[in-house]
Amino acid sequence: MNDRTALVTGANKGIGKEIARQLVAEGFTVHVGSRDADRGRRAVQEIGGDARLLVLDVTDPDSIATAAARVERLDVLVNNAGIMVDGKTAPEADLDSFRRTYETNVFGVLAVTNAFLPALRRSAAPRIVNVSSGTASLTWSADPEHQFAVAAGSAAAYRSSKTALNALTLFSAQTLAAEGFKVNALAPGLRATDLNARAAASDGDPAEGAAGAVRLALLPDTGPTGGFFSWDGTPAAW
């Protein structure tokens, strides 16, 4: 009998919703993390199967604690919830935009992961997937021939938050490796979501990016940990 469980944060729409849908198709009971209960309920109905609503605001300690208390065991945690406040460069940006971005994209991931570690430790094969971005790559951003360098430092708050998330992924993987955890970061590619205007105008299929997250969620014991991967499974540059 398949009793695998997963939690996907920010799963009421976009890539997160598609990750939840694909994990349900793989036989998981999936906790659909949603800050808004009504939107979460609609997502659960649309996903169907063993999808369950879990009201969760990754920036609210009380919400995180309440959600964690409802989940006894967890095999997979996908930290997908993320925001992009604006596309400003660092000299143009204000501190508030950075704080708001990091509150969700970095601090929220750390808070949620730590809160659900007891449940993950009850799994025989715990997996953590952090949804990052190819724009987080310092190597690619520093390469004048790469598309991300052409942006000339735009979206500094968002991109730097995802770079920090990559570092958090590596450090968590190193610390938890002895316990059998696999912790990896994913660059899902540009997808048609409401992250920003460019994404909204994209024809990139969210399902394709989600498949990369599911691949990392299903890694065997011999699989990698502490890595940064593109949606197609190839390594991404740090």
User: pTM score, two decimals?
Assistant: 0.93
CA distance 162 to 101: 10
In angstroms, rounded to a whole number, what is the distance separating the alpha carbons of residues 192 and 136? Answer: 19
pLDDT tier at 189, thresholds 50, 70, 90: confident
- Residue with the bigger pLDDT between 194 and 107: it is 107
pLDDT of residue 217: 98
Residues with a catalytic annotation lie at 158, 162
Q: What is the pLDDT of residues 74-124, one digit of tens each?
A: 999 999 999 999 999 999 999 999 999 999 999 999 999 999 999 999 999
As a whole number of angstroms, the distance between CA 226 and CA 205 comes to 26
- C-alpha closest to that of 11 among 175, 135, 129: 129
Nearest to 230 by CA among 191, 197, 201, 196: 191
pLDDT > 90 in the chain, percent:
84
pLDDT of 195 over the 70 cut: no
Tell me what pLDDT residue 201 has: 45
- Looking at residue 150, its pLDDT comes to 55
Task: Report the distance separating Cα 48 and Cα 8, nearest Å.
Answer: 15
- 191 pLDDT more than 80: no
Both structure tokens of 111 = 């808070």
